[in-house]
Structure 1
Amino acid sequence: MELVILVVVIAVVVIGGLSGLVVGRSRKKRKLPPPPPAAPTITSPPTEPHVGDEAETPRDEHRRTIEEVGLPDAETATETPVAVEDPVVGLAPAPPVEVPEPTAGRLVRLRARLARSQNSLGKGLLTLLSREHLDEETWEEIEDTLLTADVGVKPTQELVERLRERVRVLGTRSPEELRTLLREELITLVGADLPREVNTESPLDTPAVVMVVGVNGTGKTTTTGKLARVLVADGRSVVLGAADTFRAAAADQLQTWGERVGARTVRGPEGGDPASVAFDAVKEGIAEGADVVLIDTAGRLHTKTGLMDELGKVKRVVEKHGPLDEVLLVLDATTGQNGLVQARVFAEVVDITGIVLTKLDGTAKGGIVVAVQRELGVPVKLVGLGEGADDLAPFEPAAFVDALIGD
């Protein structure tokens, strides 16, 4: 009996401990899962007032009566209203049109700039000719000086032969006599009797058409813009044709040059047909009654046959309006004899009538003037002597030679 009671007591104790354990565990705080992220707050835009709605007037605001509102008198109310230009939508003032300096004597005014880089040729020749004994070695040095200046082999031989003969016959020795002798022979070599004027007179009742050609990097587009200034300075009205459609910058650049002197620029879409732009430029020039149409063509690499053929196409299309009056080839004077290779190829395609030598102020090789004229049989008509807008000058043989040999 006692054993049964003991077993019952132990059972009660065990059951009580288990229930306490369960209750204790149930009382522990359970870890809840994290709440979901809050949805973003969307702020609705202020409601637009509907037609007929009025803004709410603050209650403490004083409202004026009809007697307090000032009304215009009868005379003021019947006056004609004056239009006031809206400063926001008004057109920007057009840039002022520049007046280029006259071209007459421009090369003489730029002589100092040319002489800084060319004097080495003239002074070198005068120094050699002033030697007490003009032996064979001295004459060879004179030849080398001329060849180094890119005069060319044949013109150099001709000049040296004439100098040797005149020095022998005249017995010239004084510096002043030698300078006069050298000046005369160089002017003869450059060609004082060649026609130098850019042909801007058309035999027909249409504008004269001038096409500007050349390879990349010679300053062709800039030269075309400067040529427009030369023509405007001489009283000619000009229309520009931006037929270099392969570079959008070229058309923009040419248009900027034109706007500065009041010349309109005809241009087409980038990558468009250059011949079409050239045709339209001449057509617009005829419609406006312009004196001259200047056509700037793309910078052609003379080794690219297809591009040269396209240049020939531009020429043929333009000639549907009438003959080309001038075809100017732009050459970089610093390229020297390599420029002659370019000149030959262009001459075969478009019949060059004149040469523009750029960057002549940056080289001591002024003899390229002689060499390129001999190679093409056409004269140098314009020379570029700097970066300024009016640094393109008509070529004058005497002024050029005077810059070569100095005072």
Structure 2
Amino acid sequence: MEFGFSVEDEAFRAEVKAWLDAHVDVDQDRRTWERTLGKGGWIGLGWSEEGYGNRTASLTQQVAWAEEYARSSAPPRSGHIGENLLAPTLIAHGTPEQKDRFLPPIAAGEELWCQGYSEPGAGSDLAGIRTVAVCEGAYYRITGQKIWTSLAHEADWCFVLARTEEGSRRHHGLSFLLVPMDQPGRIEVRPIRQMTGTSEFNEVFFDGARARVEHVVGSEGGGWKVAMSLLGFERGVSTLAQQIGFAEELGRVVRAAVESGAVRDPVVRDRLVRQWAELRVMRWNALRTLGGSAGPGASSVAKLLWGGWHQRLGELAMEVRGAAAAVGPADWAASAPYELDVLQHLFLFSRADTIYGGSDQIQRTIIAERVLGLPREPKGVV
């Protein structure tokens, strides 16, 4: 299955490419780049509403944008959590006042968001969260801890799932709160240093942090429905752009295999061909999902496919280079703290691919229970 791009779509693609060629600046910091995208109207193409300074585009045009962005040398996005997760959730569940307050700054690239879901004792089992929010007049007072919070160190706001009903359990009594991050003494962000030496993830501690009562999305106690709706927006057009990046990484691995001579090994050649073939299958599966013909559980299948594929690619990247894969730069000791080349970073970062964004075990449980109709897994059993 392939998307059929119309003449209008190809004209849109050409416009996208021309704009990116004219505006991408490799020396531009990520927050400034978000504002540049906002001025061009390129944030929020997939929103079902316009009038917030954003353009709107058809599904095929969104695919064209995502693919051309992935092919360009544009910086990684800092605003995707607000644009692709919170904004569609507000459009579906927010009040007119919430939309008017929060959508324009997202579309302009002025306000960045992070997601306050996972906790130390409630990662994949999201219903087990213990962060508490107590209503005190015009505000909720929030106490608790979140973890693996992507880009929290850069974010202006955080959407937080917290327990607002005392004594509630599991998915009952939760609320979806919009929380400003600039609350010194009430919110502390601690970066988590990864094997790669980078710190995209963070721990976030709430010690009496405040959220306005009018910034509850949906109803008080109805946060589980809103949170699950948001997760439904998590996998979409961006998966096709992700695969453009995967194809570039596969090309690097192939070149490394040629340079090291590993490509002469028939087993290595077979594995490289398998990686290429599986990447094509993932594209067809993503297109089928976007077309609405994939059926229930499709997003879980997609996560299982790309998580395992990318992890195997990282392993193969090290194998084709042999012992050289474990060697750092000549000035390794002077690095701060050390630098990885592209393929070393691929290997180390991809170790987490089968965990973050919903672990493989959780995805298999979703497929088993919601698609195959198998008995539910008992909760609280180790």
Per the TM superposition, whether the score is higher than 0.5 is no
Larger Rg: 1
Higher relative contact order (CA 8 A, sep 6+): 1
* TM-score bucket of the superposed structures, by smaller chain: under 0.3
